[in-house]
C-alpha cells in the first residue's frame, strides 16, 4: 500500500535535487585545493569522480547519493572538468557496494559529516519545533531544516522522515499558539466568545454568522449596518495584545479557518482552539469592518459629489436657451445703439424702439442670474447631501479610532466635534487651505448654519484617509503608513541598494567623483589630449565627425565647432 506524500514532486525537486544551473554549480560545486588533494588519493578515475560527486552532494543539497541515482549531465561535466576525468567514467563506479560505503566513511571522517541520529537529531528536532511557528508551510519549514542540517554538517535523513518531522512540528506549533491565545483571554471574554455561538438572531442565524456577513456598501443604511457590527465587537473588549506575539500568517490562517467553519463545527472543536479562532476572528473582523466603514464613507462622498456635479451640469444645460435669447437681445440692442449713434438719433429713442425699458431691466436681471449660474461649481450643490451624512457620520466618528499626523490635527478635531453632536457656534476652518474653494461657499452661509461646514469636514476626511494623513488604529488598509515601512535598521542590514541610505554620503561620494573628473579634464586640457576637442583661452571647441565617404574615398575629416564658453 502506497504511503501518502506531503511534498509534491515539484517541492521534492526544489529541496533535494542536485543543482544544474551555472550559478549554483559555481557556488556549491567548485572544489578547493584541499578537496582536490583528498580526491586525488583515489587511484582510479571512476573512484575520483564518484568520491567528488558524493562530496558535492553532501555540501548541497546536503544528502547522500542514492544507489543507481541518475546524475545530471551538467553536474558530471562541471565536476569532471575540474578533475580532468571524463563524465563516462562514472559508469563503472561502485561496482562493489563496499566502495561507496568506504568513500562515505572517509568523507565523514575528513569533513566531519554526521548522520541524523542521537543527540544531534534531538537538537535538530527541538530547533525545528522552535522554527515551526514562523514557518508558513511544510516546504518552508523543510527548507529551514535542510539549511540547518548543512550548517551543522548533518547528512539529511530520508524524505519521509523530514516530512513527518515537519508535519509534527507544525501541528505542535499550531497547538501552542492556540493555547497561548486562550491563556491571554479572561474568563469574561471567553464567556462572551462562547455566546457568539449560542445566541441566535432573526433568520435563525447565530451571532457569529451575523458578524461574519459584512461587505462594503454605498449608502447610509449600509454604513449603519457595519456600525452595528463594529459597536458589538467593541463591547467584547478583546485586547489586541493577546495576539501581539503571534506571527501574522498564523493569525491570517486562524481567521480563514473561522470563516470556513459553521456554528455547529466550532462548537465541536476543543476549547482552546475554539477560543483562539473566535478571538482572532473578532480582532480581525473589527479591523476589517472599520476599513469597510471608511470605504463606504468614501463611496458616499463620491456619490454626493457626482450628484452635485450632475445637478450643476443640468442647471447649466437648462440655462442655454435663456442664455442664447439674452445674448441675441443684447446684440440687437447694441446694433440699434450703434446705428443711432451713427445717425445722430438720441440713444433713449433707440433703446425705446429696440426694447422697452422694463424689458431691459428684466434682461439685466436675467444676465446677472446667468452669470452667477455659469460661475457656480459643483461645490454649491454638495450641501444637499447633508442629511445623508447626518444619518451615520456622527456615529461613525464616535466609533472609529482616528489618529492623524500633525498636519491633519485641525481636521480630526473638527470631525470629533461632529461626532460628539455638539453645536459649533463658530466652526473652525483651519483644516482648509487659504486658497480652497470651500471658503467662498462657507462665508456665504448664514450665521449658525454649520451644515455645509460638516459636509466639508467629511469630504476632507475622505481625502485625508486616502493620503494617509489620517489613519485607524489596528487597520489593514487605512493603518499608519509608518507601520508598513521597513525599519531603517532592517533596511541597512538587508537591503542591497545601489546608493547609500544616507543622502549626505551619496552627495559626498558624487562630489569626490566630480572633483577627480575635473582634475582629469584639467590635466587633459593642459596636455592637449581631450578626445575630439580642446579648451583654449576659456573656450571649448569640439570636433564633430563627418559622415564616412564611400569605400575608396578619403577618410572622414573633423571640422572644429565652438559650442560654449567656459
Residues 150 and 92 in one domain: no
Indicate the residue among 159, 182, 205 that finishes a domain: 182
Whether the ω angle into residue 104 lies within 30 degrees of 0, i.e. cis, is no
H or E segment to which residue 518 belongs: helix 503-527
Q: Measure the CA–CA gap between 348 and 354, rounded to whole angstroms.
A: 10
Residues 508 and 533 in one domain: yes
Q: In this predicted structure, what is the pLDDT of residue 347?
A: 67
Judge whether 300 lies within some domain. no
Predicted TM-score (pTM) of the model is 0.76
Q: Measure the CA–CA gap between 82 and 80, rounded to whole angstroms.
A: 5
Residues 74 and 148 in one domain: no
Residues 34 and 76 in one domain: yes
Residues 105 and 129 in one domain: no
List alpha helices for 244-270, DSSP H.
248-260, 263-268
Judge whether 130 lies within some domain. yes
Judge whether 29 lies within some domain. yes
pLDDT tens profile 225-253: 999 999 999 999 898 888 988 999 999 99
Between residues 134 and 495, the one the model is more confident about: 134
Q: Measure the CA–CA gap between 221 and 225, rounded to whole angstroms.
A: 6
User: Chain-centre distance of CA 82, in angstroms?
Assistant: 46
Residues 428 and 472 in one domain: yes
Across the range 526-539, mean pLDDT stands at 80
Residues 124 and 100 in one domain: no
Q: What is the chain's percent helix, strand, coil content, to nearest 5?
A: 65, 5, 30
Q: Is 487 helix (H, G, I), strand (E, B) or coil?
A: coil
Q: Measure the CA–CA gap between 337 and 345, rounded to whole angstroms.
A: 9
Q: Which residues pair with 562 in a beta bridge?
A: 541
Judge whether 89 lies within some domain. yes
Across the range 457-474, mean pLDDT stands at 93
Q: In this predicted structure, what is the pLDDT of residue 169?
A: 96
Across the range 350-375, mean pLDDT stands at 72
Closest CA to 50 of 65, 36, 60, 61: 65
Closest CA to 239 of 289, 288, 188: 188
Across the range 289-304, mean pLDDT stands at 96
Q: In this predicted structure, what is the pLDDT of residue 330?
A: 76
Q: Is 563 helix (H, G, I), strand (E, B) or coil?
A: strand
Judge whether 51 lies within some domain. yes
Judge whether residue 478 has pLDDT over 50.
Answer: yes
Q: Measure the CA–CA gap between 139 and 93, rounded to whole angstroms.
A: 34
Q: In this predicted structure, what is the pLDDT of residue 340?
A: 75
Domain that holds residue 69: 9-111
Q: Measure the CA–CA gap between 29 and 265, rounded to whole angstroms.
A: 53
Q: Measure the CA–CA gap between 24 and 28, rounded to whole angstroms.
A: 6
Q: How confident is the model at residue 30 (pLDDT cuts 50, 70, 90)?
A: very high
- The owner of cell 500568517 is 249
Q: In this predicted structure, what is the pLDDT of residue 119?
A: 94
Residues 13 and 107 in one domain: yes
Q: In this predicted structure, what is the pLDDT of residue 213?
A: 93
Judge whether residue 1 has pLDDT over 50.
Answer: no
Judge whether 525 lies within some domain. yes
For residue 561, count CB atoms less than 10 angstroms from its CB and return exposed for 0-12, middle for 13-18, buried for 19 or more.
exposed
Q: How confident is the model at residue 532 (pLDDT cuts 50, 70, 90)?
A: confident
Q: Return all residues near 208 (Cβ < 8 A) that are at least 6 apart.
A: 196, 197, 263, 266, 278, 281
Residues 541 and 450 in one domain: no
Q: What is the DSSP string of 276-324?
A: HHHHHHHHHHHHHHHHHHHHHHHHHHHHHHHHHHHHHHHHHHHTHHHHH
Indicate the residue among 182, 200, 217 that finishes a domain: 182
Q: Residue 445: what are its φ and ψ, rounded to 5°?
A: -75, 150
Judge whether 265 lies within some domain. no
Q: Measure the CA–CA gap between 419 and 392, rounded to whole angstroms.
A: 10
Judge whether residue 545 has pLDDT over 60.
Answer: yes
User: Chain-centre distance of CA 300, in angstroms?
Assistant: 25
Q: In this predicted structure, what is the pLDDT of residue 81?
A: 92
pLDDT tens profile 95-150: 778 888 999 999 999 999 999 999 999 999 999 999 999 999 999 999 999 999 99
Q: In this predicted structure, what is the pLDDT of residue 557?
A: 47
Q: Measure the CA–CA gap between 378 and 308, rounded to whole angstroms.
A: 5
Indicate the residue among 484, 513, 545 that finishes a domain: 484
Closest CA to 79 of 105, 107, 57: 57
pLDDT tens profile 384-440: 999 999 999 999 999 999 999 999 999 999 999 888 866 665 688 889 988 898 988
Q: Is 486 helix (H, G, I), strand (E, B) or coil?
A: coil
Q: Measure the CA–CA gap between 244 and 203, rounded to whole angstroms.
A: 36
Residues 158 and 103 in one domain: no
Across the range 163-180, mean pLDDT stands at 94
Of the CA atoms within 13 Å of residue 451, those in its CB half-sphere come to 15
Q: In this predicted structure, what is the pLDDT of residue 329?
A: 76
- The dihedral sign for the CA sequence 458, 460, 464, 466: positive
Q: Are 103 and 50 in contact (CB under 8 A)?
A: yes
Reading the block at residue 426, the C-alpha cell is 463658530
Q: Return all residues near 193 (Cβ < 8 A) that are at least 6 apart.
A: 185, 236, 274, 275, 278, 279, 282
Q: Measure the CA–CA gap between 498 and 553, rounded to whole angstroms.
A: 48
Q: Measure the CA–CA gap between 433 and 428, rounded to whole angstroms.
A: 12
Domain count, the chain: 4
271-318 helix and 320-343 helix, angle to the nearest 10 degrees:
30
Q: Is 111 helix (H, G, I), strand (E, B) or coil?
A: helix
Q: What is the DSSP string of 212-227?
A: H-----SSHHHHHHHH
Across the range 49-73, mean pLDDT stands at 91
Judge whether 275 lies within some domain. no
Tell me whether strands 470-472 and 402-404 are parallel, antiparallel or unpaired: antiparallel
Closest CA to 49 of 90, 78, 77: 90
Amino acid at each position: 500500500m502506497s504511503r501518502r506524500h506531503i511534498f509534491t514532486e515539484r517541492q521534492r525537486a526544489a529541496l533535494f535535487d542536485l543543482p544544474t544551473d551555472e550559478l549554483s554549480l559555481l557556488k556549491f560545486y567548485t572544489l578547493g585545493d584541499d578537496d582536490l588533494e583528498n580526491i586525488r588519493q583515489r587511484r582510479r578515475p571512476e573512484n575520483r569522480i564518484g568520491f567528488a560527486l558524493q562530496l558535492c552532494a553532501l555540501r548541497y543539497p546536503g544528502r547522500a547519493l542514492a544507489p543507481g541515482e541518475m546524475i545530471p549531465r551538467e553536474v558530471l561535466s562541471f565536476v569532471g572538468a575540474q578533475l580532468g576525468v571524463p563524465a563516462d567514467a562514472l559508469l563503472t563506479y561502485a561496482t562493489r557496494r563496499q566502495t561507496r560505503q568506504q568513500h562515505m566513511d572517509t568523507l565523514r571522517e575528513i569533513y566531519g559529516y554526521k548522520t541524523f541520529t542521537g543527540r544531534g537529531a534531538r537538537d535538530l528536532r527541538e530547533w525545528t519545533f522552535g522554527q515551526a511557528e514562523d514557518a508558513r508551510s511544510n516546504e518552508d519549514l523543510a527548507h529551514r531544516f535542510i539549511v540547518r542540517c548543512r550548517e551543522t554538517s548533518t547528512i539529511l535523513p530520508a524524505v519521509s522522515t523530514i516530512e513527518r518531522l515537519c508535519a509534527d512540528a507544525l501541528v505542535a506549533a499550531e497547538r501552542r499558539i492556540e493555547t497561548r491565545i486562550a491563556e491571554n483571554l479572561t474568563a469574561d471574554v471567553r464567556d462572551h466568545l462562547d455566546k457568539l455561538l449560542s445566541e441566535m438572531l432573526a433568520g435563525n442565524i447565530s451571532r457569529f454568522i451575523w458578524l461574519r456577513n459584512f461587505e462594503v456598501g454605498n449608502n447610509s443604511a449600509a454604513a449603519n449596518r457595519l456600525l452595528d457590527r463594529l459597536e458589538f465587537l467593541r463591547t467584547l473588549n478583546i485586547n489586541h495584545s493577546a495576539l501581539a506575539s503571534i506571527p501574522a500568517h498564523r493569525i491570517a490562517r486562524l481567521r480563514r479557518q473561522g470563516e470556513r467553519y459553521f456554528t455547529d463545527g466550532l462548537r465541536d472543536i476543543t476549547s482552546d482552539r475554539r477560543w483562539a479562532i473566535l478571538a482572532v476572528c473578532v480582532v480581525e473582523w473589527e479591523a476589517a469592518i472599520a476599513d469597510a466603514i471608511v470605504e463606504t464613507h468614501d463611496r458616499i462622498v463620491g456619490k454626493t459629489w457626482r450628484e452635485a456635479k450632475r445637478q450643476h451640469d443640468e442647471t447649466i444645460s437648462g440655462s442655454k436657451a435663456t442664455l442664447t435669447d439674452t445674448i441675441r437681445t443684447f446684440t440687437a440692442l447694441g446694433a440699434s445703439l450703434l446705428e443711432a449713434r451713427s445717425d445722430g438719433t438720441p440713444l433713449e429713442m433707440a433703446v425705446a424702439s429696440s426694447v422697452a425699458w422694463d424689458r431691459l431691466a428684466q434682461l439685466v436681471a436675467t444676465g446677472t442670474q446667468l452669470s452667477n449660474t455659469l460661475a457656480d461649481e459643483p461645490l454649491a450643490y454638495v450641501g444637499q447631501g447633508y442629511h445623508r451624512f447626518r444619518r451615520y457620520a456622527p456615529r461613525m466618528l464616535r466609533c472609529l479610532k482616528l489618529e492623524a499626523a500633525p498636519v491633519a490635527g485641525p481636521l480630526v478635531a473638527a470631525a470629533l466635534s461632529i461626532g460628539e453632536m455638539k453645536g459649533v457656534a463658530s466652526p473652525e476652518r483651519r483644516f482648509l487651505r487659504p486658497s480652497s474653494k470651500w471658503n467662498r461657499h462657507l462665508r456665504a452661509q448664514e450665521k449658525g448654519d454649520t451644515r455645509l461646514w460638516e459636509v466639508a469636514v467629511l469630504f476632507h476626511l475622505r481625502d485625508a484617509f486616502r493620503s494617509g494623513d489620517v489613519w485607524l488604529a489596528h487597520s489593514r488598509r487605512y493603518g499608519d503608513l509608518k507601520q508598513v515601512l521597513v525599519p531603517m535598521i532592517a533596511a541597512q542590514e538587508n537591503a542591497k541598494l545601489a546608493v547609500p541610505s544616507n543622502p549626505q554620503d551619496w552627495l559626498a561620494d558624487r562630489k569626490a567623483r566630480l572633483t577627480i573628473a575635473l582634475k582629469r579634464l584639467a590635466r587633459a586640457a593642459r596636455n592637449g589630449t581631450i578626445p575630439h576637442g580642446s579648451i583654449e583661452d576659456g573656450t571649448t571647441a569640439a570636433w564633430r565627425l563627418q559622415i564616412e565617404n564611400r569605400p575608396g574615398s578619403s577618410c572622414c575629416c573633423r571640422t572644429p565647432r565652438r559650442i560654449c564658453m567656459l
